[in-house]
Amino acid sequence: MPVSARKKDRKLNIAMVGHKRIPSREGGIEIVVEELSTRLVKMGHKVTCYNRNGHHVGGTKFDTYQGKEYKGVTLKYVPTVDIKGMAAVTSSFLGALGSAFGRYDVVHFHAEGPCAMLWIPKLLRKKCVVTIHGIDWKREKWKSGWGSQYIRMGEKCAVRYADQIIVLNKNTYEYFKNIYGRDTVIIPNGLGKQKIRNAGLIRDKFGIDKDEYILFLGRLVPEKGVHYLIKAYKNLETDKKLVIAGGVSDSQDYVMTIKALAGDDRRILFTDFVQGALLEELYSNAYVYVLPSDLEGMPLSLLEAMGYGNCCLVSDIPECMEVVGDKGVVFKRGDAGDLQDKLQMLCDSREVVENYKNVASDFVYQKYNWTDMAQKTEGLYKRLAQGYRDTFTIENDLGGKV
């Protein structure tokens, strides 16, 4: 039955559940929720984000915003139990409860764990969308015990109850198709124009200048493979320093392990969590950016590094290779020796590095941008609000699978 133009174009009331808090760079999910929410508001929709109470994962010094609104997005804060593993459970439960009783057209859950609470808004017949940012139960800290079981339950709840599931890449699409027979919609993460900065803060704070360092930037967790990078770097013949920028995410033991691996090598710099102008300078002035991950969803740090025009060296997992294409250098996942060989080649060949730098930015902007991601997500919301659930029709309307 044809849908009236008035109903088709009406503005929606949307709830976001499952992130820590916005505005924040605590993780990739928070960046996605912020970028999506603020763009949906500009499109005329009303968006409410259910933020966690509590402190920034980088420490209290990064607790910079506690307002009730951000760029037109309504912020609601839910209490959390500040115990490892329980903060996410309590915040997603209370966020799901709030969204169930709110007058929302669509409730959008982010990540597998929070989806364990998806049944709550479904009890009140809400239209629910899920974004799977990665297969989280595969991550090192969730491989066993209660946390793993809880996340697997969230994954199964998403399959059973979600009206639509968004995934970020082909690999995850195939996972849900093969394991559950469930069709999903691929809408990858995006990228905004980056602000290139000359070295200033990083020179004063860390004693590094343009092209003087190899950069890793991300959470310091085992699946990011920083231990491979340190092992490879310590055997290099180079005057480049190694900068490891990132905060802790329930992974203090791993951080102690990699710092012990670095030992007293003064060329290896740990910056802790970074943001703002300092982050922009690190991206802008790196000689090579390295992402040695064993596991990813869609690495936003890699998108950003390419957006800043970096030569990127990544592991050969599908999620990284899908981003870089032939515009980056690849090493064998988990192979510190191969990583060392590729790093040595890049350190010895500035021309090769410059060739990759010259093409990275234009290449990644053509493939990924937040405007496209927001428009495709809006299209999915509107079709659900109109009563459509057919994935094939939605994918055709949104431009097909990536």
Convert the pLDDT of each residue in 192-214 to its tens digit.
888 899 999 999 999 999 999 99
CATH topology of 5-190+369-397 equal to that of 201-367?
yes
Q: How far apart are the first and last CA of the chain?
A: 29
CATH architecture of structural domain 5-190+369-397: 3-Layer(aba) Sandwich (3.40)
DSSP symbol at 224 = G
For 100, the token pair is: 């169930």
Domain extents in the chain: 5-190+369-397, 201-367
Given this model, what pLDDT does residue 85 score? 65
Q: What is the pLDDT of residues 166-186, one digit of tens each?
A: 999 999 999 999 999 999 999
For 169, the token pair is: 């890449």
Q: Is the separation of the CB atoms in 210 and 201 below 8 Å?
A: no
List all residues 6 or more positions away from 297 whose beta carbon is below 8 Å from its beta carbon: 28, 132, 133, 134, 135, 168, 169, 172, 319
Q: Work out the average pLDDT over 66-74.
A: 91
Strands 213-217 and 241-245: parallel
Angle between the N-to-C axes of helices 226-234 and 336-348, in degrees from 0 to 180, rounded to the nearest 10: 60
Superfamily (CATH H level) for 201-367: Glycogen Phosphorylase B; (3.40.50.2000)
List all residues 6 or more positions away from 46 whose beta carbon is below 8 Å from its beta carbon: 11, 12, 13, 14, 74
Residue type (1 letter), 19 = H
Specify the 3-state DSSP secondary structure of 319. Answer: helix
pTM: 0.86
* Averaged confidence pLDDT in the chain: 89
Token match 């799901």: residue?
96
